[in-house]
Amino acid sequence: MAATRTEAEALDATDPLRWLRDEFVIANDGLIYLDGNSLGRLPRRTERRLSSVVTEGWGSGLVSSWDSWVKDPTDVGDRLGAALLGVSGGQTVVGDSTTINLFKLAHAALDAARGQGVVTDRGNFPTDRYVLAAVARARGADLRVVDDPSIYEPRESDGLVSFSAVDYRTGALLDMNDITERAHRVGALALWDLSHAVGVVPLDLDALGVDMAVGCTYKYLNAGPGAPAFAYVRHDLQAAIDPVIPGWFGHADRFAMGPDYVPGPGVARLLTGTPDVLGLAAVDEGLRLLSEAGLGALRRKSLALTDLVMAMVDVIGPEFGLDVVTPRQPEHRGAHVSVRHPQAWEICQALRARNVVPDFREPDLLRMCPAPAYTRFVDAWDGVRVLGEVVSSGAHRSFPTDRRPVT
Ligand SMILES: *Cc1c(COP(=O)(O)O)cnc(C)c1O
């Protein structure tokens, strides 16, 4: 463990992923960016790729470029599935937002399941809770909101069980295998939100027998603000899906312009309207870069970085009231560290004023994410050092307590 900055420098010197930081735009080398779980950095290749899609694809090719663009949602989906989800082809599409994909798949799951009850947890991401509640309401189904997803107990009435693999607040990583098995025991389907897991936690959905999954691409996947999300549906569940949003891009023959909706083959029926071509290009570059690095190597570095952050916070924690709430065991945590403090919001502002960028989550959590693709060990070390300076000097007390819109 790096107790000194020199030790952190030594970890960087032997880091097999050292090259990867150079693949990203680092506009200000003095900025310690610990918020890659909210908005990942811009890969240099993405900058070039987007510029070529704009200049050549759009500028020169105009409408003819759609000949290749129409295949992007399924092609990029297949590549994303193979590289990051551990799934074979024909099960993943990229398009729409995580919110919309969750809505579509929650309906699809309940169409297929025997029971009709919807299960989620109190701590799930807001959009997930809102969407799942609305889907249950629309179908007259019961919504069961459990306190702790890790001890989910199946009931015969359960039809859809939906949790986030990594908790956006605490960073806790659930045992997807165990929970999916428990859902299957009562014939329920498991729909996982992988937003905080994809691109940083190796996933093996085919092997786990996961039914459905969604997740966003602008966090660890580095595809940029508002980039389209993915949706995964296991092969054998696809044919029965009668899409709740029957858009023309999910139609079996979209240019027939026929009177009625006929679902397209397989997972492609989940597509809705005209795809976001620029966003898809960015997703493609993001996933290629991560797959070159290898998820195993990314995960190893991520665990080492978060170990360092937690160990350093532990040293100053007792004196200054900082409490790491992220689980310690590697198999139980994602890639960010959450620290509880009554003045977490003021501390977050003080850190940002000192060129360290963590973020804040209500009511009292400071999140620090040393994303392994571009964060050096010295960045993690310096970030926690500045945190120590802030809390020991009380510098955060001069920042406002009222919350402005938070990102
Ligand atoms: C980030 C995140 C989302 C975001 O959904 P959008 O539709 O892209 O705004 C949803 N769910 C979880 C668990 C997230 O972490």
Active-site annotation holds for 104: no
Give the whole-angstrom CA distance, residue 147 versus residue 218: 28
Please tell me the pTM assigned to this model. 0.97
> 399 CA to middle of ligand 1, Å?
29
**In whole numbers, what is the pLDDT of the chain averaged over residues?**
97
Give the whole-angstrom CA distance, residue 261 versus residue 247: 8
pLDDT > 90: percent of the chain: 97
* Residue 356 near residue 347 (C-beta atoms within 8 A): no
**Structure-block tokens of residue 232:** 């995964």
> Which tens digit of pLDDT belongs to each residue from 308-352?
999 999 999 999 999 999 999 999 999 999 999 999 999 999 999
Q: What is the mean pLDDT of residues 32-59?
A: 98
Give the whole-angstrom CA distance, residue 227 versus residue 142: 33
Give the whole-angstrom CA distance, residue 251 versus residue 399: 54
Q: For 337-376, where are the alpha helices, taking DSSP H only?
A: 344-353
**Structure-block tokens of residue 378:** 């010295």
pLDDT recorded at residue 1: 53
Q: Is the CB of 99 under 6 A from ligand 1?
A: yes
Q: Is the CB of 218 under 6 A from ligand 1?
A: no
> 267 CA to middle of ligand 1, Å?
21
Q: How confident is the model at residue 86 (pLDDT cuts 50, 70, 90)?
A: very high
> Which tens digit of pLDDT belongs to each residue from 377-386?
999 999 999 9
pLDDT recorded at residue 112: 95
> 127 CA to middle of ligand 1, Å?
7
**Structure-block tokens of residue 329:** 């065991």
pLDDT recorded at residue 3: 78
Q: Is the CB of 125 under 6 A from ligand 1?
A: yes
Q: Considering Cα of 157, then 159, then 165, then 168, what sign does the dihedral take?
A: negative
pLDDT recorded at residue 78: 98
Give the whole-angstrom CA distance, residue 16 versus residue 79: 24
Out of 79, 169, 219, 333, pick the active-site residue.
Answer: 219
Q: How confident is the model at residue 242 (pLDDT cuts 50, 70, 90)?
A: very high
pLDDT recorded at residue 403: 85
> Which tens digit of pLDDT belongs to each residue from 152-164?
999 999 999 999 9
State the number of CA atoms in the 13 A half-sphere of 246 facing the CB. Answer: 13
The structure tokens 């999916």 sit at: 180
Bridge-based pairing state of the strands 365-368 and 337-340: antiparallel
pLDDT recorded at residue 324: 98
Nearest Cα residue to 18 out of 307, 380, 383, 373: 373
Neighbours of 180 (CB within 10 A): 23
pLDDT over 90 at 406, yes or no: no
Contacts of 210 (CB under 8 A, 6+ apart): 176, 180, 190, 192, 232, 234
> Which tens digit of pLDDT belongs to each residue from 340-367?
999 999 999 999 999 999 999 999 999 9
Q: What is the DSSP string of 188-235?
A: PEEEEE-TTTTTTS---HHHHT--EEEE-SSSTT---TT---EEEE-H
Neighbours of 314 (CB within 10 A): 13
> Which tens digit of pLDDT belongs to each residue from 207-216?
999 999 999 9
